């Protein structure tokens, strides 16, 4: 299995509506990209100061499946329309498990 983890920090001006629209758009990706085996997203629980604001954990059978997801037109549209406008920072890691 291949795992893709992404964390975001929102821009201060990102509204609650924009954050919700981003989460809703991300939630639709498993239906659009059949290579996704497991997809978990969510905001930080705000239990520790300094944490990132939002996380995506996506599992794939192979690195090739992840590459298909990365290039997928629906995924790219979510990035362009819903993520980039409200994100100040992004951190990501991919690994095999």
CATH number of the domain residue 74 falls in: 3.30.70.100
Strand order in the sheet with 87-96: 36-43, 54-60, 2-10, 87-96
Walking along the chain (97 residues) 10 residues at a time, the average pLDDT comes out as 98 98 98 98 97 98 98 98 98 98
The token pair at 32 is 């659009």
How much is the pLDDT for 77? Answer: 98
Q: Which domain holds residue 35?
A: 2-96
Closest by CA position to 59, among listed 69, 49, 72: 69
How much is the pLDDT for 46? Answer: 96
Side-chain half-sphere exposure of 57, counting CA atoms within 13 A: 7
Give the total number of structural domains in the chain: 1
Closest by CA position to 27, among listed 82, 65, 80: 82
How much is the pLDDT for 97? Answer: 96
């Amino acid at each position: 299995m291949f795992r893709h983890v992404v964390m975001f920090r929102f821009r201060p001006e990102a509204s609650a509506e924009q954050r919700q629209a981003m989460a809703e758009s991300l939630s639709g990706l498993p239906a659009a990209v059949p290579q996704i085996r497991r997809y978990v997203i969510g905001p930080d629980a705000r239990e520790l100061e300094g944490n990132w604001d939002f996380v995506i954990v996506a599992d794939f059978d192979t690195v090739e499946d992840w590459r298909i997801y990365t290039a997928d037109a629906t995924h790219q549209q979510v990035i362009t329309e819903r993520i980039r406008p409200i994100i100040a920072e992004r951190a990501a890691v991919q690994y095999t498990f």
